Structure 1
Amino acid sequence: MFYGSIPAVITPFQDNEVDFYSYERILNYLINNGSNGIVPCGTTGESPTLSHDEHKKIIEETIRIADGRVPIIAGTGSNNTSEAIDYTTHAEKVGANAALVVTPYYNKPTQKGLFNHFEAIANSANIPIIIYNIPGRSVVDMTIDTMINLSKIKNIIGVKDATNDLFRPLLTKAKMDKNFCYLSGEDGTALAYLAQGGDGCISVTANVAPKLCSEMQKAWRDKDIKKTQIINLKLSKLHHALFIESSPGPVKYAASLLNLCKPDTRLPLVEIDEITKKIIKECLIELKLI
Structure 2
Amino acid sequence: MSVLHLHGILPPFPTPVTADGRVDDKALRKMLHMLIDAGAHGLVPIGGTGEYTALSPQDRERVVAITVEVAEGRIPVIAGMVSPGFAESVTAGKAFKAAGADGLLAVTPFYVSPTQGGIREYFRAYREAVDVPILFYDVPYRTRIVTEAQTIADMEADGSIFGMKACNTDMAHFNQVMNLTSPDFQMLSGEDLLYPAHAALGARGGILASSPLLPHYWLKLYETFKAGELDAGIAAQRRLLPLLDALFAEANPGPLKAAMKMIDQDCGDVLSPLQAPSAATVERLHRAIGELRSAGVLAA
- TM-score band (shorter)? over 0.9
Aligned-pair identity in percent equals 28
Q: CA deviation digits over 1:118-154, x for unaligned, max 9?
A: 1111011332101101111111111112111111232
Q: 2:31 aligns with which of 18, 22, 26?
A: 26
Secondary structure in structure 2 of the residue aligned to 1:107: coil
| Distance (Å, rounded) in 1 between the aligned partners of 2:171 and 2:9 | 18
How big is the shift at 1:104?
A: 1.5
Secondary structure in structure 1 of the residue aligned to 2:67: helix
How big is the shift at 1:177?
A: 3.6
Asked if 1:3 is matched to 2:10, the reply is no
- Residue in 2 that maps onto 1:123: 128
How big is the shift at 1:237?
A: 1.6
| Distance (Å, rounded) in 2 between the aligned partners of 1:68 and 1:283 | 35
Asked if 1:72 is matched to 2:77, the reply is yes
| Distance (Å, rounded) in 2 between the aligned partners of 1:188 and 1:32 | 25
Task: Look up the equivalent residue of 1:93 and give its one-letter code.
Answer: A
Moved more, 177-186 or 132-141: 177-186
Q: CA deviation digits over 1:82-120, x for unaligned, max 9?
A: 111122222223322211001122222222221222111
| Distance (Å, rounded) in 2 between the aligned partners of 1:275 and 1:107 | 36
| Distance (Å, rounded) in 2 between the aligned partners of 1:177 and 1:26 | 35
Q: 1:275 aligns with which of 272, 280, 290?
A: 280
Asked if 1:38 is matched to 2:43, the reply is yes
Task: Look up the equivalent residue of 1:43 and give its one-letter code.
Answer: G
Q: 2:103 aligns with which of 93, 98, 106?
A: 98
Q: Verify the 8 A CA contact 2:123 2:160 in the aligned structure 1.
A: no
Asked if 1:110 is matched to 2:115, the reply is yes
How big is the shift at 1:155?
A: 4.9
| Distance (Å, rounded) in 2 between the aligned partners of 1:223 and 1:97 | 30
Q: Which runs of 5+ in 1 are unaligned?
A: none
Alignment CA distance shift 1:159-1:262 (3 Å) = closer
Asked if 1:189 is matched to 2:198, the reply is no
- Residue in 1 that maps onto 2:150: 145
Q: Verify the 8 A CA contact 1:122 1:153 in the aligned structure 2.
A: no
Q: 1:172 aligns with which of 158, 173, 177?
A: 177
How big is the shift at 1:157?
A: 0.1
| Distance (Å, rounded) in 1 between the aligned partners of 2:245 and 2:261 | 18
Asked if 1:216 is matched to 2:228, the reply is no
Asked if 1:60 is matched to 2:65, the reply is yes
Task: Look up the equivalent residue of 1:7 and give its one-letter code.
Answer: P
Q: Verify the 8 A CA contact 1:167 1:196 in the aligned structure 2.
A: no
Q: 1:83 aligns with which of 76, 81, 88?
A: 88
| Distance (Å, rounded) in 1 between the aligned partners of 2:258 and 2:111 | 28
- Residue in 1 that maps onto 2:16: 12
Q: Verify the 8 A CA contact 2:124 2:160 in the aligned structure 1.
A: no
Poorly superposed stretches of 4+, deviation over 4 Å: none
Q: How many residues align?
A: 290
Q: CA deviation digits over 1:1-41, x for unaligned, max 9?
A: 21111111100111211111101111111111122111101
How big is the shift at 1:226?
A: 4.0
Task: Look up the equivalent residue of 1:10 and give its one-letter code.
Answer: P
Q: Verify the 8 A CA contact 2:31 2:265 in the aligned structure 1.
A: yes
- Residue in 2 that maps onto 1:261: 266
Secondary structure in structure 2 of the residue aligned to 1:7: coil
How big is the shift at 1:209?
A: 0.6
Secondary structure in structure 1 of the residue aligned to 2:125: helix
Q: Which runs of 5+ in 2 are unaligned?
A: none
Secondary structure in structure 2 of the residue aligned to 1:287: helix
- Residue in 1 that maps onto 2:243: 238
Task: Look up the equivalent residue of 1:225 and give its one-letter code.
Answer: L
Instruction: State the TM-score, normalizing by the size of structure 1.
Output: 0.95
Secondary structure in structure 2 of the residue aligned to 1:45: coil
Q: Verify the 8 A CA contact 1:126 1:155 in the aligned structure 2.
A: no
